[in-house]
Structure 1
Amino acid sequence: MITPLEIRQQKFRNSFRGYDREAVDAFLTALSQEWERQLELKRNLQDELEQLRGRYDTLKEVEDMLHKTLIQAEQSARDTLENARQKADIRIREAELKAREMVQKGVEERNT
């Protein structure tokens, strides 16, 4: 890659009906300044890109962590719901059994 310094230091041969030396020097100066500005812009954009990549990586990690947390919360909710159903089933069975026992006891007391 050509550098701004190489552009500034570029020399051309003199010829009988050559270019205007001052115009060439002015053009090379302007070109080297613009080239330097473009190189600085490129460096700045590369730095910004690197920062954005780092930020993306951080946000991706957060997203992954949130996704895992959501999956765990969903599983925990399913487990809690299943436990509640099982406990409700047990209480219903116990209540039905107790009701049968009470009915049986009532029948026995009436028969005696």
Structure 2
Amino acid sequence: MKITPLDIRQKRFETVMRGFARPEVGAYLELIAGEFEEVVKENIALKEELKRTQARLEQHQERERTLQETMVTAQRISEDLKDAAKKEAEIIIADAEHQAEKIVHGAHQRLVQVVEDINELKRQRTQFESQVRSVVEAHRKLLETFAAPTFADRDYARVEDNVAFLSQKKATSND
């Protein structure tokens, strides 16, 4: 049961002989009621202050939760962005490596083609040199053939000798 300042003020005691002095008890009860009233007012004020403080605390706690959620969300977004950037970088690198492989493969094929072309040109040069040697050799043999006395040349020389001999004979017989 709660005692209020009004309860203290209205409290009446039985009178007995040789009891307490009424004015003194009444004054004391009035003093206690006044003090008690002050304590009750202070208690009410403190309870109201406590409610306001608790409300502010709840607001701060709510803000703190919101900030923590925001930080967690921001961190998650940051990690997602990092992951996305990393994946994009990996894709770009893979694409660049693929392009590089294509370029190297193309250069290698071109090198193989150039080597094949050089070998073909060497083969053609060797074949051409061989053909020129054959032609030169054939012409040299032909020239040697023309330079060497032939059967006809020997016969012609004999005929000339015979003609000269006959001409000389005729000239000596005519003399």
Query: What range is the shorter-chain TM-score in?
Result: 0.7 to 0.9
Q: What are the within-5 Å matches in structure 2 for residues 1-112 of structure 1? A: 1-111=2-112, 112=114
| Distance in 2 separating the partners of 1:6 and 1:89 | 84
- State the match for 2:130 in structure 1: none
Higher relative contact order (CA 8 A, sep 6+): 1
| Distance in 1 separating the partners of 2:12 and 2:46 | 32
Give deviations 1:49-96, integer Å, cap 9, x for gaps. Answer: 211221122122212211211221121111111111111111111111
Shift in Å, 1:45: 1.3
TM-score normalized by the length of structure 1:
0.87
Match of 1:11, SS state, is coil
Shift in Å, 1:6: 2.8
Amino acid at match of 1:80: L
| Distance in 1 separating the partners of 2:15 and 2:111 | 135
Match of 2:15, SS state, is coil
TM-score normalized by the length of structure 2:
0.58
Give deviations 1:17-58, integer Å, cap 9, x for gaps. Answer: 111222212211111111101110111111012112211221
CA RMSD of aligned residues (A): 1.6
Moved over 6 A (4+): none
The runs of 5 or more residues in structure 2 that have no matched partner are 115-175
Equivalences, count: 112
The runs of 5 or more residues in structure 1 that have no matched partner are none
Q: Which has the larger radius of gyration?
A: 2
Identity percentage of aligned residues: 30
